[in-house]
Structure 1
Amino acid sequence: MADTGAHPAQILLVEDNRVNRLLLARLVEQLGHSVNTAEDGLQALAALRGKRFDLLLLDIEMPGMNGFQVLEQLTADPDLRELPVIVTSGLDGLANVVRCIELGAEDYLHKPVNPVLLRARIAASFEKKRLRDQQRELMRRFATSAVAQDVQRSGFALGGHLVSASVLFCDIRGFTTLSESLPPQEVIELLNTYYTLMFDAIGAQGGVVNQIIGDGLMAIFGAPQPLEGHAKCAVRAALEMVEMAVQFSADQCAAGGPEIRIGVGVSSGEVVAGYTGTLDRATYTCVGDTVNRAARLEACTKEAQRSVLIDGATREQLGAGFEIESLGPVHLKGKTQAVEVFAVA
C-alpha cells in the first residue's frame, strides 16, 4: 500500500454512469489521490489484476457484472481480498448495506456522496489497511511466508492433518565449543549469516523452515502446501546447504574465524502437520516417526562422518541423478529397530 501520508494513494473508481464517474473522480483527485476509472465490474477486475491499488470505490448497479458480484470475486481471490472497498451506491435499504459489508466492503456511502464523509471514510480505510499490513509483515517475519499464507487462506486452528512430506534437520557440528571461543555478539552475527544461507537453500527448493533452536533448524518439504517430489527437493536443499556451508567456512577461516561444518538428516513419509501450542501462543510444525527419524539421522552424521544422511523412504523417491552410498542398517538412538541409512555425496 502506498504511504498516503507522503504520496497520493492509487484509487480505482468503478461507476457505469459517465457523469457520476467524472464528478466522483474529480472529488477524489481534489482529496489528493490518483484515480483510475472503470465502467463495469469486468473492467474493474481486469484493472485490479493488472495494477496495484490502495482502495476501490465501487458502484453496485452496473450492467454485466454488478457490484455484489465484484465483491464476491474479490473475496475469493487471495491477492485481492485484503483490498479496502468503499461502496458508493444509490440503492436504499438496510439489506443492501448488510450484504455489501458481509461480502467484505469497508463502508457504504449513499449517492450523492458527501465530500467530507468521503474523506473521512477513505482515511479510515487506509488506517485499517495499514494495520493489517503491519500484522501480515509481523507474521511473515516470525512465521515464514508459507505459514502466513496458510493462516490467511485457511484461518488459524489448533490441530493437524496427515500429509506426505520430507523433513530435514540440520546442525552445526561442535557449535558449543565454537561458541565458547567467540564473544556473544560474534556468535549472533555468525548465526545470522549462516541462517541467511540455509534459509535461501531451503526456500529455493520449496521447503519451509519451521523451527530454529540455537544452531539447529528443522524444515518441512510438503507442508503447509503440497510439494511434488518433496524428497528430491529436500535432498537438493541439503546438498546446497552443505556446499554453502563449505564456502562460508572458507571465508570464515580466511578472516581468522572458526571452521563451520554441518550435518543434515532427511527422512520422508507421513507426518501430522498443523498448529500446536495454545490459542495464545502456537507454532506450525509436524510430528511423527518421520520427524524423529530425520533428527536421529542428523545426529548420526557425526559418527558416520558424512554430511548428508537419508532414510530408505527418501532413497526410494530419489531415482537417478544422485550419488548414493549405502551404510546398511543402523541402530539410531531411540529406535527399537535398525534403519536403512544412506549417505548422499
Structure 2
Amino acid sequence: MVDLRHAPAHLLVAEDNKVNRLLLTRSLELQGHRVDCAENGRVALELLRHDTYDLLVLDMEMPEMDGFQVLEQLTADPKLRDLPVIVTSSLEGVATIARCIELGAEDYLHKPVNAVLLKARIGASLEKKHLRDQQKELVRRFATSEVAQDLQQSGFALGGRRVQGAVMFSDIRSFTALVESQPPEETIELLNTYYTLMFDAINRHGGVVNQMIGDGLMAIFGAPLPLPDHSAAAVQAALEMVEMIELLNADRIAADKPAIRIGVGIATGEMVAGYTGTQQRATYTCIGDTVNLAARLEAHTKLAKRTILIDPATCMALGGRIPVEALGAASFRGKAAPVEVYAAVTALDTRQD
C-alpha cells in the first residue's frame, strides 16, 4: 500500500516574498513534489482554475488579493472548495487563525515555518484529500452525474422539494419467460446490454435513471436539475430507446436468439423529488401522482398493445411535434376518474397493426 503522506503531489505555493517563495519551493521539490509558484492571490486563483493541484500553500499578506480573499473565492467555487489549503503567515492572534479555518483552511502555520512540521501537515492533508477523492469517485460511480452535481452544490439532506418534470417507467416484456428459457449468464449479459443502450438514450436527452429493478427502470426528466421541455425530452428518449432495441434485435435474431420488446410509460406534472432513506443509506427519487400514473401507463402498454404510452399533460406539452394516437380513456388503480391515454407512434407499432 502506498503511504499517501509521502507520495509525490502537485502543489501550488502562493507567496509574495521572492526569497521565501524560492526557498519553500526548493524544500517541497526535495520532498519529491511538483511545485508551481504564484506571487499573489490573483495569480494563484488563475493557476488553480487552469490546472489541477493537490494542495495550496497560502501566504496571508499579499498584494492585489490577500490570503483571506483567496480562501473566500475557493469556498465559493464548487470545483475548488475541497482543495486542501495550508496557511503560512506572520499574522498573530486566535481570531486570524479562526477566520482561516472557518474559510476552509486545513491548517495554519506561523512564520518562520518549521520544515519538518510543514512536511507532516502536507502529508496529513494529502491523505485526507485522497479519502475525499475516493468518496467523490464512489458517488460518481453509483449515482448519476446530475445527482453527483446536486450533492456537490447543495450537500446531502433527507427530504424533497416540489418540481415540475416528466417521469418514465420502462421494462422488458415477457422477461420472466425469457429468463426461464436461457442460462443465467445470458440473462445478465442481456441486462447489461439493455441498460447500456437505455442509459445512453435517456442521458442523451437529459434524463436521469434513478432506479433499476430487475428488467425495469425509472427515469426522471427535470430533476435534480431543471430541464427545459422535459416532456418532449422524455418522449424523444423513449423513441430512441425503441430504435436501439430494434437494432439490438437484428443482432439477436442473427444469432438465433429471441427478439425482445419493451413497454414505456411517461407522465408529466408536479412531483416531490429528493433523497429518501436514512443518513446511512439513501437514494434520489421522486414521488407523487405523476410517478404513479407513469407506472400505470407502462403496465398498460401490454393491454393497449402499444410501445410508448403518455398522459394528457405530456401530449399537450408536445404540441404536435411528435405524432401521437389517441387511444381513449382507461381506468387505473388509484385514479378516481378514467385517464385519456395517448400512444407515441413508432414504426414498430405501425408494423404490428
TM-score category (smaller protein): over 0.9
Where does residue 86 of structure 1 map in the other structure? 86
Q: In the alignment, is the contact (CA less than 8 A) between 2:5 and 2:124 conserved in 1? A: no
Separation in 2, partners of 1:302, 1:6? 61
Q: CA offset at residue 311 of structure 1? A: 0.8
Where does residue 340 of structure 1 map in the other structure? 340
CA 1:48/1:161 → structure 2, altered by over 3 Å: closer, same or farther?
same
- Structure 2 letter corresponding to 1:281: R
Separation in 2, partners of 1:204, 1:307? 20
Where does residue 204 of structure 1 map in the other structure? 204
Separation in 1, partners of 2:79, 2:142? 21
How many corresponding residue pairs?
343
- Map residues 282-301 of structure 1 onto 2, 5 A cutoff: 282-301=282-301
SS of the equivalent of 1:275 reads strand
Q: CA offset at residue 185 of structure 1? A: 2.1
Separation in 2, partners of 1:300, 1:265? 8
Separation in 2, partners of 1:315, 1:203? 21
Separation in 1, partners of 2:220, 2:238? 12
Separation in 1, partners of 2:113, 2:257? 67
Where does residue 56 of structure 2 map in the other structure? 56
TM norm structure 1: 0.95
Where does residue 351 of structure 2 map in the other structure? none
Separation in 2, partners of 1:116, 1:13? 17
Q: Which runs of 5+ in 2 are unaligned?
A: 346-353
TM norm structure 2: 0.93
Separation in 2, partners of 1:257, 1:52? 49
State the percentage of identical aligned residues.
Answer: 66
Structure 1 position 125 matched with structure 2 position 120: no
SS of the equivalent of 1:87 reads strand
Where does residue 14 of structure 2 map in the other structure? 14
Where does residue 276 of structure 1 map in the other structure? 276
- Structure 2 letter corresponding to 1:305: K
Where does residue 262 of structure 1 map in the other structure? 262
Where does residue 42 of structure 1 map in the other structure? 42
Where does residue 160 of structure 1 map in the other structure? 160
Q: In the alignment, is the contact (CA less than 8 A) between 2:45 and 2:70 conserved in 1? A: yes
Where does residue 350 of structure 2 map in the other structure? none
Where does residue 105 of structure 2 map in the other structure? 105
Q: CA offset at residue 258 of structure 1? A: 2.9
Q: Which runs of 4+ in 1 moved over 3 A?
A: 3-8
Q: CA offset at residue 232 of structure 1? A: 1.3
Q: String of CA shifts for 1:66-107, please: whole Å, max 9, x gaps.
A: 111111111111111111111111212222222111111111
Q: CA offset at residue 318 of structure 1? A: 1.4
SS of the equivalent of 1:217 reads strand
Q: CA offset at residue 5 of structure 1? A: 8.8
SS of the equivalent of 1:279 reads coil
Structure 1 position 194 matched with structure 2 position 227: no
Separation in 1, partners of 2:260, 2:94? 67
- Structure 2 letter corresponding to 1:246: E
CA 1:292/1:55 → structure 2, altered by over 3 Å: closer, same or farther?
same
Q: In the alignment, is the contact (CA less than 8 A) between 2:326 and 2:341 conserved in 1? A: yes
Q: Which runs of 5+ in 1 are unaligned?
A: none
Q: String of CA shifts for 1:93-142, please: whole Å, max 9, x gaps.
A: 22222211111111112222222222211211111111111111112222
SS of the equivalent of 1:258 reads coil
Where does residue 170 of structure 2 map in the other structure? 170
Separation in 2, partners of 1:320, 1:14? 59
